[in-house]
Each structure stands twice: as C-alpha cells, then as structure tokens.
C-alpha cells in the first residue's frame, strides 16, 4: 500500500482517506451505498509551481486466461470499468499556479452505489480493484507529484439476512451401516474464522470401525470473457482425523477447520458478470466393515465466505467520545463544539461550512478557537453532545441546499444523479 511519495526534500504530496475500507451493508438490492471521503494534501517547504492538481477514482474488473498449447493456444481477456470519477482541484490554465510555502489541502467525497462488486485480490485469472490516483502536474522539466491509494470495497450482510441465522445439518441412515448427523452452526464465515463441525455417528452394522474422517473446504471459480468461459476448482483447506473415536454405541466429535485469510489462499463469494466464486464444505467418513472391506460416506454443504467477519461488531454503536458523529444536525451546537474543543479539529472540515471556516481560520492564526462570549476551555470539560437539541430538527434537502450547509467535506450536497445512477454495468 502506497501512502505517500516523497518526491523532493521540499514537498510531500499524498492522499488521505477517512477509511480505505468501504463496507456496503446488505446485498446489491438492499444496500444504500457508501461515501468515500478524504483529502489530497501538498506540503510545500518552499514556493512551488504547479500547472494543475487532479484526483481520479476508478474501479475495474478484469479476467484473463490462456487455453490450449502450441498453435492451438488462445488468450481470452476482458476488462470492464465499474466506476470512474475525477476531481480537478486546480484546473489547468495558461499560467502556472505559484504556491507559496505552506500546507495545502483539497477535500473530496464521492457517493458510491450499493451494487458495486466487492474487491477480489490474489486470483490468478480475475480481479476486482478500486484505486485513487492524485497528480500535481508540474511545469516542463519538473517531475510531477503523484500518489496512489488502493481502496477496498467489502460487503456486510444485514443482521436480518436469512443466511446468518441458518445452520447446516445432514442427517440420514446409510445402507444399514450407520445413522449419522453432521452439523455446522452457520452458513456464513470469513477469513481466519474457525468452523466447528459436529459429527454424531451411530453404528448399526456389527464390528464397524472408523478409519478416518476428512473435512475439505473447496472453492469453485467461473470466469467469463465474451462467449468464453473458464471453470476451475481448488482445495483451500483440508483436515484429516485418523483418531476419530469408534468405540461404544455412539461416536461423537467436533472438528475445527480454520479458514485461511481472504486473499491468495481463499476468495470471498462473488456473483458478477465476469467472475463467480462459490464454496462447498465436503466430508468423508471412511469405515472398515466386519469383513475387512472399506466403505466411504460422502456428503457436502454449501458455505458462504464473506469479506467481512460477522463475528465482529461492525454495526456497533460509536464510542462515547465519537457520539458527535451521529448527532442531529444543529449548526449552532456544532460551531460551539468546535469552539469549545468538544469536536476534534482534525474533522472540522466535516462540519457545516461556516463552522469549518472558523475552525480553519483559528488553526491558521494559532488560536484555541474559543467561542465569543464563552469561557476558554481548560480541557477538563466537554460540551454535552445532545444537550438542548430538538431531535426532530433535521433539515430537509431543500433547506440544506438553501442554507449551503452540509455535514460533508465538499460543502455541497450531492446531485440526485450522482447517488441514484449506479456505475457502469457489471
């Protein structure tokens, strides 16, 4: 991951992100999307000339593979742009921009649709990736300032998703040899999760013994380029137990299968036009019969490998000190929070425009930002985030536009088209 490029002792140019992992909540039909927020900063230790400053966000999906050998070898490939957007912070013009020494920052935000495919990395034949590229174009014979930043798009199932509450159970009687139950407590797992697999076997035939059992997590990938399709499968995790208990009227044991981390070793489930990925958990119970011949019981259940672990409290409430992030809109209270130090200055650009401007001006002046008529904050108290706020005072879209205030980096509301029209079809 590239965070910054030190292009010269006199300057530093980099992309800063609120988060480089964007989590979409719900499936493609449920998700309301997510907002990418950040800034591009240029730190000039001396006067610097630039011709333009731009930032580009792009998402792409690629598949490629080779079939056949020798003269019959064919190469199949398809690239597709999922989403693309560009900002021009300092647009090109005839005369160059003369930037004095100091720090420059350009904030940005981008509403992304909820039907974006998840990031897929480490696959030999297909990938889905998103990245930001910022360029400060310099005059002729001067090296441009460039920084790149990857962005991960992940998807989290809603708590109401049926798959999260589903357990998996295989139960039957097998050829007068044994009755069996094999169960898994959930259908959805993520990288590094441990799957507890419960085997409950009751032998029916006499003198039946267990040789071993195996548990195999298998991945199935299908890639499509035009009319050409490539399908392949691989084992991503394998477990064999040669000491499975086979004494007494009932044999029980819980096997623990750890899933590899998401990446090269295993990919999350995907269902796009170009890349489809699914997983199955397979079981084999090998038995020795009374006459010495070997029998094998085989079974399989489908699993979903998610990019986000559902054991994590991703939807947890914010910490007390972060409660201001979800507070109702009230420009006066927000301004007082900044002035009193109750809101971090590092996020001052995210508050309504007037308050942000005041905070930024205070920072330039080196002041502590005390509000007019208020006592100077000694750091021992904090403005109560919800004190005196009418919880119903959320401005309408029209009111917000008219007042030119928005809880965002850009200081302007997104257009209807920017949040309602998805990216290029997948």
Using alpha carbons, list the distances in angstroms from residue 231 to 122, 207, 222, 276, 304. Answer: 17, 43, 4, 9, 18
Q: Strand ranges (DSSP E) for 45-160?
A: 48-50, 52-67, 74-90, 97-99, 102-112, 126-137, 145-156
* Cβ atoms of residues 28 and 158 within 8 Å: no
Task: Give the span between the Cα atoms of 126 and 240, in whole angstroms.
Answer: 31
According to the model, what pLDDT value does residue 70 have?
82
- On the CB side of 264, CA atoms within 13 Å amount to 0
Using alpha carbons, list the distances in angstroms from residue 353 to 59, 356, 406, 413. Answer: 30, 5, 7, 12
Q: State the fold for domain 1-156.
A: Immunoglobulin-like (2.60.40)
Instruction: Tell me which residue has tokens 């590229």.
Output: 133
Which CATH number, 2.40.160.40, 3.40.50.720, 2.60.40.640, 3.40.47.10, labels domain 163-306? 2.60.40.640
Task: Give the span between the Cα atoms of 115 and 308, in whole angstroms.
Answer: 17
* Cβ atoms of residues 44 and 101 within 8 Å: yes
According to the model, what pLDDT value does residue 10 have?
52
According to the model, what pLDDT value does residue 334 have?
54
CA dihedral of residues 178, 179, 184, 187 (deg, nearest 10): 110
Cβ neighbours for 289, distance < 8 A, ≥ 6 positions apart: 177, 205, 207, 208, 295
According to the model, what pLDDT value does residue 173 have?
92
The pairing of beta strand 74-90 with beta strand 209-225: unpaired
Could you tell me which residues are beta bridge partners of residue 185? none
Task: Give the span between the Cα atoms of 305 and 269, in whole angstroms.
Answer: 5
According to the model, what pLDDT value does residue 45 have?
86
Instruction: Tell me which residue has tokens 């992309």.
Output: 15
pTM of the model: 0.69
CA geometry: angle 230, 236, 238, nearest 5 deg? 135
According to the model, what pLDDT value does residue 396 have?
53
Cβ neighbours for 136, distance < 8 A, ≥ 6 positions apart: 13, 42, 50, 52, 53, 144, 145, 146
Mean pLDDT, the chain cut into blocks of 10 residues (426 residues total)? 44 92 92 95 92 97 92 92 96 92 94 95 92 95 94 91 90 91 95 95 92 97 95 96 93 96 91 96 95 93 90 48 47 60 47 37 40 39 44 50 41 48 42
Task: Give the span between the Cα atoms of 19 and 153, in whole angstroms.
Answer: 11
Task: Give the span between the Cα atoms of 156 and 343, in whole angstroms.
Answer: 29
Instruction: Tell me the pLDDT tens digit for each residue of 224-272.
Output: 999 999 999 999 999 999 999 989 999 999 999 999 999 889 999 999 9
Domain(s) of CATH 2.60.40.640: residues in the chain? 1-156, 163-306
According to the model, what pLDDT value does residue 72 have?
85
For residue 263, which of 60, 121, 150 has the smallest C-alpha distance? 121
Q: Token digits for 219?
A: 């991945």
What is 309-365 written as a DSSP string?
-TTS-TTPPPPGGGGGGGPPP-HHHHHHHHHHT-S-GGGGGGS-HHHHHHHHHHHHH
According to the model, what pLDDT value does residue 25 have?
92
Task: Give the span between the Cα atoms of 112 and 31, in whole angstroms.
Answer: 11
According to the model, what pLDDT value does residue 114 have?
95
According to the model, what pLDDT value does residue 310 have?
72
């Amino acid at each position: 991951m590239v965070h910054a490029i030190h292009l010269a002792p006199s300057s530093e140019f980099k992309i800063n992100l609120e988060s480089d992992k964007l989590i979409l909540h719900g499936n493609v039909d449920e998700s309301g999307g997510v907002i990418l927020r950040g800034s591009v900063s240029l730190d000039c230790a001396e006067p610097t000339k630039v011709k333009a400053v731009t930032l580009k966000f792009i998402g792409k999906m690629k598949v490629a593979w080779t079939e056949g050998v020798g003269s019959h070898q064919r190469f199949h490939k398809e690239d597709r742009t999922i989403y693309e957007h560009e900002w021009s912070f300092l647009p090109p013009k005839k005369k160059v921009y003369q930037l004095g020494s100091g720090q420059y920052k350009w904030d940005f935000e981008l509403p992304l649709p909820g039907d974006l495919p998840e990031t897929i990395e480490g696959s030999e034949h297909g990938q889905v990736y998103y990245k930001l590229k910022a360029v400060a174009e310099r005059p002729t014979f001067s090296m441009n300032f460039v920084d790149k930043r990857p962005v991960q798009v992940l998807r989290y199932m809603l708590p109401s998703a049926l798959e999260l509450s589903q357990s998996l159970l295989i139960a039957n009687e097998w050829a007068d040899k044994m009755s069996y139950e094999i169960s898994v407590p959930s259908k959805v797992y993520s990288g590094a999760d441990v799957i507890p697999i419960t085997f409950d076997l009751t032998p029916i035939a006499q003198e039946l013994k267990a040789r071993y059992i195996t548990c195999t997590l298998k991945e199935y990938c299908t890639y499509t380029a035009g009319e050409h399709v490539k399908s392949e499968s691989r084992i991503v995790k394998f477990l064999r137990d040669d000491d499975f208990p086979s004494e007494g009227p009932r044999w029980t044991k819980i096997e623990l299968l750890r899933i590899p981390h998401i990446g090269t070793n295993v990919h999350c489930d995907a269902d796009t036009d170009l890349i489809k990925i699914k997983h199955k958990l397979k079981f084999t119970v090998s038995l020795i019969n009374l006459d010495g011949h070997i029998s094998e019981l085989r079974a399989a259940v489908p699993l979903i490998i998610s990019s986000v672990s559902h054991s994590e409290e991703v939807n947890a409430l914010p910490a007390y000190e972060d409660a201001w992030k979800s507070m109702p809109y009230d420009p006066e209270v927000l301004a007082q929070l900044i002035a009193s130090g109750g809101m971090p200055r590092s996020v001052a650009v995210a508050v309504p425009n007037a308050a942000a401007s005041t905070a930024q001006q205070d920072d330039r002046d080196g002041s502590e930002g005390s509000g007019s008529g208020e006592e100077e904050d000694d750091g021992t108290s904090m403005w109560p985030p919800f004190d005196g706020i009418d919880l119903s005072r959320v401005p309408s879209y029209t009111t917000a536009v008219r007042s030119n205030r928005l809880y965002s980096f850009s200081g302007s509301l997104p257009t209807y088209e920017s949040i309602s029209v998805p990216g290029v079809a997948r």
